Structure formats: structure tokens, C-alpha cells
Structure 1
Amino acid sequence: MKVAVILSGCGVFDGAEIHESVLTILALAKAGAETEFLAPDIAQTSVINHLTGEIAESESRNVLVESARIARGKIKDIAQADAEDYAAVFFPGGFGAAKNLSDFASQGATSHVQADVLRFAKAVAQAGKPACYICIAPALIPHVYGAGARLTIGNDADTAAAITAMGGAHVNCAVTDIVIDEDRKIVSTPAYMLAQNIAEAATGIEAAVKATLALI
């Protein structure tokens, strides 16, 4: 059973959240799933100095190249990926989901999803295959599934309001819990939108991975 993990760079502030990515990969490995990593071959929206939290104005990085750090070099351009090759798809969070995979961080309810990511995610949805969205990544769901899709980013009122304005059916959720849209085969969990430590994030992510695989 092969599944796809979509990465958005490397680092919580400008890419994929590393703890969430690793926890997802670990849960999949323990479940016996074969993981293939995908990322868009595009420039990052910004580069953040993770020591200071400031924008590194003079730096530019590539999302695919940075994602390869987490994937240990084994990753492919999502533009070249076929949804038919995978039983399910997983989207770890981190600001990269809202800055690189989409522009939700800057545009909110009027945001768009990067074209190659949207094509792949919609193909997964149209094929009736399950998908797991973690942390802020559920902000992509209304673009992929349309109005009425049930999802969670935890309980942040402003983010939930933006998702509701996009047509999503947001459900408040504890960090260790998950929300499942049975009809659309979508699983989501808050992770570091709420988590105070890696153990809390792990509980929700492990539950989300288990539930997603059960939908296959």
C-alpha cells in the first residue's frame, strides 16, 4: 500500500512543520504503509530565519529542494505525480501549507491553492481516495472539495471564520482528537495549531493516520 505525503518545504515558519511531518511518516511506517514524498517545484514565498523569526530578505529557497531534507532526498515533483498511484494522501502542516501550497496566510478567505497541488488533490478527491490534512493544511480543503466539507484546524476563531467563508464546515476540535468527513473521506487534526508539546501533536496525528488508512 503506497501513500503520498505532500511537503511544503522544511521548517515551521516557511515550510513543512518538521515534527508533524516526522510523526506522520512514523505512524505510516508503523502501519506498514509505503510512503512516497511529493512537493511542488516552486520558489518559497519567503525564507524565515528560524532563530530570530525574521524574514531573510536576501535568501531564496526552492520548496522541492527544501522538502528533500525531510524526505532524505527521495522526493518527486508533484507536477509529475499521478493520484492513481496512491491509496491515500497526507498533508502535514506548517506555514508552508499556507504560504507555498497555497496563499492562505496572506489572502485568507480569498486564497488559492498552487496549481499542481490543487490538480493532484482534486484527482485524489475525485477518485474517492482518503486524504488527511494536519494543522493549518485543512485550509486547503474547501478549495479541493467544495462547500460543506467537514474539517478542523482546532479552535482558532479567525482561521475558522476564514475557512467558513470559503465554504468549509469547521468543527472545533481538541488537539488529541480528529474530525472525519465520512462522505468525502477527509480526516483532519489540529496538531501544532493547539499542541503545547510533541506528545500532544503525536496523539492527534497518530489517530488521524489510523483513521485515514481505515478509509482505504
Structure 2
Amino acid sequence: MQKKVAVILSGCGVYDGSEIHEAVITLLRLDQRGAHAQCFAPNIPQFHVVDHLTGEVSGETRNVLTESARIARGEVKDVRQLHAAEFDALIIPGGFGAAKNLSDFAVAGAACCVQHDVLLAARAFVEAGKPIGMMCIAPALAAQIFGNQVTCTIGSDPDTAAAINQMGATHEDCLVGDIVEDQARKLVTTPAYMLAQSISEAAGGIYKLVDRIIEMTQHDD
């Protein structure tokens, strides 16, 4: 039976939304593995809009769901429509949108909160015992989604790792092409562009993450 995987996006663009390479590689690998992917995003204003040519914050206002539709080619739904019972697994790519739109980690650090609709959707997968994959900065949300002592990685950045540990998770250093798995909680994480210096480096770990998530869904059959 074809596996169904939900993918939560956070906009479009590394500095203010989903990291496009990470999102596209995730969707590509899911398709290569024969899984059906459905994208979701919160229907909220972006934290801010960044000009990706200059790196400067612009005066524009944009919507996270609308911007995520750029990556999903229009096939994206409001995260409030995400029901864990309809899917086998959940994957959350990174990009600063995970820390600005899916949460306020970029501003609040260890005192951050996960966006309400995203938190409810993700926790439903945890409660159902279904696997979740998170990459790049997205594992900063893990403690609030899974609770204390969940093991995850963002690579090796000491400040981010310290904040993750302060929130109650356990950070484990990881090379760019590897994954960290919390077997008890069915969480798989990889550094992606927290460490990657090229799209090929990012793809190595993301492929491993997606492959492992698919394997875990098969174990549940």
C-alpha cells in the first residue's frame, strides 16, 4: 500500500520560509520511494519578508500558506486540515521559516513557542505513534512537540544545541550526511543546511532521513 506522508512547510525561501532545496529534495525522495506527499502550512502572516538578493528585511507582508504554495505547485493545504489519522508519517523541512513562522525560536530561543496549529498537528502524530522527520533548524521544535529528553540534532552549532538542551531535549552532534534517531519516540533528524556546503551534501542526509521514515512506516504494517 502506498504510504502517505504529510510535509509541513513554512513559506518559500531560506531566510524567511522553508529552505527550498530541503523541501524539494524531501518531496523528490518521497516520490522516488513511491510515497504520496501532501504539503501543509499555517495560514498566517510571515514573521517578516527578506529580500533574498540583498539579505535585507523588506517592507512587504506575505502569507505563509500562500508562499508555501510556490514550492508545492499550488498543492498545499492549511495545516488545520492535517489529520494524523490520514497519514503514515510527518516531515518538517528547515529554513528560517521553521524558527520564525512555525515557531518564534529565532526571537525567543529556549523560551520559544511552537505555532498553535502546527503544534496540534505534530503532537497528533506523536500520540498516534507515527514517525516524524525534522531537518536543519526544525528540530528546535522537538522538545515542545515530543516532551523532555527527546533526542535530536541540528548538526554541531554550540549555541543552538545549548538552547535545545535548555528546552529539555537532548542534542546529539551529527555529521552533515548522517541522521540521529530517537527510536522510542520515532523521531529522525538530520543537519541538512545547518552544515551542508552544497546541495549534494544536504541531499545525502535528507535521503537517509526520508528512507528511514519510510522504513519505520513499513514496520508499523
Residue 204 of structure 1 is matched in structure 2 by 205
> Is 1:140–2:141 an aligned residue pair?
yes
Q: SS at the partner of 1:108? A: helix
Q: SS at the partner of 2:91? A: strand
Matches within 5 A, 1:43-192: 43-56=45-58, 58-192=59-193
Question: Quick one: which amino acid aligns to residue 7 of structure 1?
Answer: L
Kindly report structure 1 stretches of 4+ aligned residues shifted beyond 4 Å: none
Match of 2:30 among 24, 28, 39: 28
1:212 positional shift: 1.1
1:213 positional shift: 1.1
What is the CA RMSD across the aligned residues, in angstroms? 0.5
Q: TM-score, normalised by structure 1?
A: 0.99
In 1, the alpha carbon distance for the partners of 2:39 and 2:129 equals 20
1:80 positional shift: 1.9
Q: Percent identity?
A: 57
Could you tell which deviates more after superposition, 162-171 or 77-86? 77-86
Residue 15 of structure 1 is matched in structure 2 by 17
Q: TM-score, normalised by structure 2?
A: 0.97
Residue deviations 1:155-196 (CA, integer Å, cap 9, x gap): 000000000000011000000000000000000000000000
Question: Quick one: which amino acid aligns to residue 177 of structure 1?
Answer: D
Residue deviations 1:59-78 (CA, integer Å, cap 9, x gap): 00000000000000011000
List runs of 5+ in structure 2 lacking aligned partners. Answer: none
What number of residue pairs does the alignment pair up? Answer: 215
In 1, the alpha carbon distance for the partners of 2:54 and 2:134 equals 28
